[in-house]
Chain A
């Protein structure tokens, strides 16, 4: 159907492989000019690789890419930029120490000597014209993510881009931020820019895109088709594919971001208000450090059998809170108790003995030692709780590790293989099997589903639910509001190191979103 309209980008049989892994194969697709196109798919479906191949960051092994009918030399960013293709990255590609003006200039075409004032005033005018509300002299590292994204988009438009590709732009945004982004995208469409948005939430696809194309396992399975002719259910099926088992509610919720499936199971824990809390933070504050804003006067209570959701735009003290609870950041004021035990000054060892378990933010950095064997990673919890000179029997540990990993449905070949050889979902399962043992009383789950596909996400949710049923207290930190609203019994919102709101079901997306961005009701 795109034949009548002018084609801006045409891919023929594009394939990319990284070593043995096929990331994209035989993708042939064309996009019409002046419209908003969505590309969707699960994690690992090849969305990001597709975007990078078009923008020249990745060189395809097969196929050709045409822009306006002309063949684009592949694997060359400069050529792609000259042809008007710009890519806005998922994790922004702006050096943190640069000022906004410098970040604009370093991608620009003009290489003359500049003065700082001249540079700033020139780019300030440019940013003002694009309605980006930022001072050109501000440092990139000081900017909140929403602004950062606007700056990145502005940078992409410096060279007169005609095809703008946005890679998962909503992943880091609050609902309001996403709304503003969508307005910006529509505005770009109005001025004649063709936009390709890579998304993974169907709700967002239907909200913004004119057409949608679906990638699965590195192949194009559908599209681009007009969004008006497709519904969420159909799209969900295309994304997941002819799955062996039918979609469970959790999976469907993870994908479509629908809220109606939630909270049927939530009522049970409400009457437990009188039970002694597992975790209690009383007026906890920390000193400023490099890792986001310090905590200010945090009061928090989690009771047994409760999942408390911690929402907030990233970088508003969530990491510091996790570090304060797990003894990695010093509590300067206030009191922390776990199961009634005052652990404010206690070491992480003592806290873990009291039942604290942590599923950390960065699974490949904090959660696992990628160059160590699976059984070594798995047994770390237990070994650290033993006396310093106790004997270790590797053979027995390896056996028990194997049993545990099997029970957690980890796909691995051998317990001696390195943790780095596992996929994201399997790596997370190893952490779950370590941290969600029978003695766990308080589980801190920091972004436990980030980067996981739907199957693994549902698995993590299921594990959390089972831990709750056992009477664990769970703190779930997530930047995915749908996830939080779906499985949490209560939600608190953090902003600049403070708790600015507490919500109970039924949740209102707009209310939570407003609290996240500081727009008080």
Chain B
């Protein structure tokens, strides 16, 4: 049983961090389709940073800085250049996926996976079987709680939500909605860097091309499934991780009798199911009518 829970926590933790980034962005009025790109940038920067500096701490810092810079770029394109945020988000994802491959190739001369000498600190023997998990797994609930308090229990959170839901209302109490979105995206950049770091460096300590494999989009789905609430979205991310773990288990149990690809597709099927379910729960098409629109009059 322990190994199942460990597997779930391993796959859920990166997803939860990135989901929180998506929740904050969504509240501020941005449907963040660049999560995938930020996540892989975080993963790549962590591994390359570890290889180049030898220190996981400075690698994490580098990853955060890179993700924050990329987020600011995204904000500039969406807010200042008034680009469509869906297209800009997908562009950011493309930049992340392509840019990381380019970075690996230009530094190491090949596209092979890069292995880092050290990974994130582990929990250690006092946690028994769970000792192999990284500290980011332990910190994950704290981050969820912190984001919840920030969004749902402070005036800052209210102003962030107002910036997304009714920018004019925000402006009329002296809040600059554009600035709120910048702050939201920068916090999101840090969270994506942590999510990417956990993915690459939390257990195996390597980076390979496209290693996020759609997790950023799954996080985006979790934001919608969780109705933009930090706790709800976290549970949605956990749900996706659990389905994924069940898929891997099922491979061991069923072996060759069930097509291997079908089982690997389970998390993605669950994502589609989750989106459908959340749309049903919130009354059909209504969930997507405000998609990408910012009201400001």
Contacts and interface: CB of A to CB of B under 8 A. Distances in A.
A and B are interacting partners? yes
Interface in B144-198: 149, 153-156, 158-159, 161-162, 165-166, 168-169, 171-174
B172 A57 contact: yes
B286 interface: yes
Interface in A99-114: 102, 105-108, 110-114
A152 to B, nearest CB: 10
Contacts of A107: 173
A477 interface: no
A290 B155 CA distance: 29
Nearest to A115: B153
B283 interface: yes
B158 A102 contact: yes
A125 interface: no
A385 interface: no
Contacts of A94: 166, 169
Given A56-B174, A81-B174, A105-B158, A93 B168 contact: yes
Contacts of A114: 153-155
Contact of B155 (A81, A96, A110, A116): A110
Decide if the interface of chain B is mainly helix, strand, loop or mixed.
Answer: helix
Nearest to B168: A93
B173 A96 contact: no
Contacts of A290: 283, 286
Given A56-B174, A81-B174, A106-B162, A95 B169 contact: yes
Interface string B268-285: 000000000000000100
Contacts of A78: 174
Contact of A93 (B159, B166, B283): B166
Interface string A272-309: 00000000000000000010000000000000000000
Given A81-B173, A89-B172, A95 B154 contact: no
B260 to A, nearest CB: 44
A105 B152 CA distance: 12
A87 interface: yes
Contacts of B168: 89, 93
Contacts of A421: none
A98 interface: yes
Interface residues of B, number: 19
A77 interface: yes
A115 B155 CA distance: 11
B158 A97 contact: no
B154 A77 contact: no
A314 to B, nearest CB: 18
A55 B174 CA distance: 10
B174 A95 contact: no
Decide if the interface of chain A is mainly helix, strand, loop or mixed.
Answer: loop
A105 B161 CA distance: 12
A106 B158 contact: yes
Nearest to B297: A91
Contacts of A57: 171-172
A112 B157 CA distance: 11
Contacts of A111: 154-156
A87 to B, nearest CB: 7
A126 to B, nearest CB: 15
Contacts of B162: 95, 98, 106
A78 B162 CA distance: 16
Contacts of B286: 290
Contacts of A95: 161-162, 165-166, 169
Contacts of A87: 172
Contacts of B166: 93-96
B149 A106 contact: no
A342 B296 CA distance: 43
Nearest to B285: A290
A77 B172 contact: yes
B165 A97 contact: yes
Interface in A443-463: none
A116 B172 CA distance: 24
Contacts of A105: 155, 158
Which 6 A-B pairs give the minimum distances between C-beta atoms?
A: A106-B158, A77-B174, A78-B174, A93-B169, A107-B173, A95-B165
Interface of A: 55-57, 76-78, 80-81, 87, 89, 93-98, 102, 105-108, 110-116, 290
Given A56-B174, A89-B168, A105-B158, 6 more contacts: A55-B172, A89-B172, A94-B166, A106-B159, A112-B154, A113-B149
